[in-house]
Amino acid sequence: MSSNKGVAYIKPGVVEVQNIDYPKLALGDRKCHHGVILKVVSTNICGSDQHMVRGRTTAPEGLVLGHEITGEVIEAGRDVEFIKVGDLVSVPFNIACGRCRNCKEGRTGICLNVNPARPGAAYGYVDMGGWVGGQAQYVMVPYADFNLLKFPDKDQALAKIKDLTLLSDIFPTGYHGAVTAGVGPGSIVYVAGAGPVGLACAASSQLLGAACVIVGDMIPERLEQARSFGCETIDLRKDVSLAEQIEAIIGVPEVDAAVDCVGFEARGHGHNCQHEQPATVLNSVMEVTRAGGAIGIPGLYVTGDPGAKDDNAKIGMLNIRIGLGWAKSHAFYTGQCPVMKYHRQLMQAILYDKIQIAKAVNVQVISLENAPNGYKDFDKGAAKKYVLDPHGMVPA
């Protein structure tokens, strides 16, 4: 039996690299003839993983983490027709059957057949179907023909792997946030949060033709990273309203589109920046988005948060000023990004040098064994996107 190692959640603040089972082409007691086993080429630490590691979800001890996976096919099930051993592929973080109503409508983030508890599933994530995560040396991927995106040229893909690894989640997620907020040529956009998804959203907004992209955060290094590729920035620690700071940049206190890339661990602005206020971002973007504008919400909100400060927030019930959004006829778009809706087009944008997404989010490659340190640095607000290299395959 071959060996395998993976990054496991142990308790709040602690992850460990452990020996884990080598994957099988099986779903419980039955064969998974439609699946493949991947040798993981790159797998990324995500802010969504960090929510679990902070103890802000009901994640169980021992959960193998990781839903951002790029790998080489080393074994294929009997029923896999179009993906071959040796192919280098991107794995959407959404697990989708390709057969249910939602999948056929392109809504692969809420597949009806891959999670007995609720619509939608993901690798290595709490309440998302119990699938083993991909921060590992090897992982099993089901419904391979439907889910996997094959790179057309393996050598070319390895040369651009730092960019292509982001296709599994944060690049499509950031792009989805911008698209659902209505970003297009000439748009003025506000992106809340300069973590990796926020930076990916800002770069995506530029790709979509935005005239001005404004990014707000409380961490100076992350704001500096946003400025490095042409964004305007707002320091949310200042005791100046968001609307006033936007007006100082563009002359008016409102934007065409806004994207919440923060989620449920949001903090207050200004003098309240040390205190969690989970509805802060949602309420602030309603204030600064023009009447008739749209708000994309790829930032994660959960139905169970044991670390929340009050009983309502523990079940995802937030103090949202929905009357303001209604009065301004705002459109809101929530939920997981359906990665397959975008990843082929975004792959082409990378391969044809239309975007340098790894540079925008400041990819830093580390070994699988160094994952615990990556989690610690990321938790401190490092302006980096950590990519794990389990087999030393990522070019320097």
Looking at residue 272, its pLDDT comes to 85
Residue 362 tokens, joined:
């400041």
Looking at the fold, whether 264 and 314 belong to one and the same domain comes out as yes
Q: Which of 293, 310, 334 is the last residue of a domain?
A: 334
Looking at the fold, whether 242 and 292 belong to one and the same domain comes out as yes
* Burial of 348 (C-beta count, 10 Å sphere; 0-12/13-18/19+): exposed
Enter the pTM of the model. 0.96
Looking at residue 2, its pLDDT comes to 85
Residue 314 tokens, joined:
């523990």
Looking at the fold, whether 329 and 374 belong to one and the same domain comes out as no
Looking at the fold, whether 246 and 317 belong to one and the same domain comes out as yes
Is residue 68, in this structure, part of any structural domain at all? yes
Is residue 395, in this structure, part of any structural domain at all? no
Residue 62 belongs to domain with CATH number: 3.90.180.10
Looking at the fold, whether 50 and 156 belong to one and the same domain comes out as yes
Looking at the fold, whether 301 and 228 belong to one and the same domain comes out as yes
Read off the amino acid at residue 26: A
Looking at the fold, whether 49 and 128 belong to one and the same domain comes out as yes
Looking at the fold, whether 130 and 165 belong to one and the same domain comes out as yes
Looking at residue 210, its pLDDT comes to 98
Q: 274 falls in which pLDDT band (50, 70, 90)?
A: confident
Is residue 184, in this structure, part of any structural domain at all? yes
Looking at the fold, whether 146 and 177 belong to one and the same domain comes out as no
Kindly report, residue by residue over 30-60, the tens digit of the pLDDT.
Answer: 999 999 999 999 999 999 999 999 999 989 9
CA distance 201 to 180: 11
Kindly report, residue by residue over 232-266, the tens digit of the pLDDT.
Answer: 999 999 999 999 999 999 999 999 999 999 999 99
Looking at the fold, whether 259 and 145 belong to one and the same domain comes out as no
Kindly report, residue by residue over 59-113, the tens digit of the pLDDT.
Answer: 999 999 999 999 999 999 999 999 999 999 999 999 999 999 999 999 999 999 9
What is the chain's mean pLDDT, rounded?
96
Looking at residue 1, its pLDDT comes to 57
Looking at residue 98, its pLDDT comes to 97
268 is in which domain, residue-wise?
Answer: 171-334
Vertex 46: Cα angle to 289 and 390 (nearest 5):
155
SS3 of the chain: helix, strand, coil, percent, to 5: 30, 25, 45
Tell which wins on pLDDT, 261 or 1.
261
**pLDDT over 90 at 190, yes or no:** yes
Kindly report, residue by residue over 140-164, the tens digit of the pLDDT.
Answer: 999 999 999 999 999 999 999 999 9
Total count of domains within the chain: 2
Residue 259 belongs to domain with CATH number: 3.40.50.720
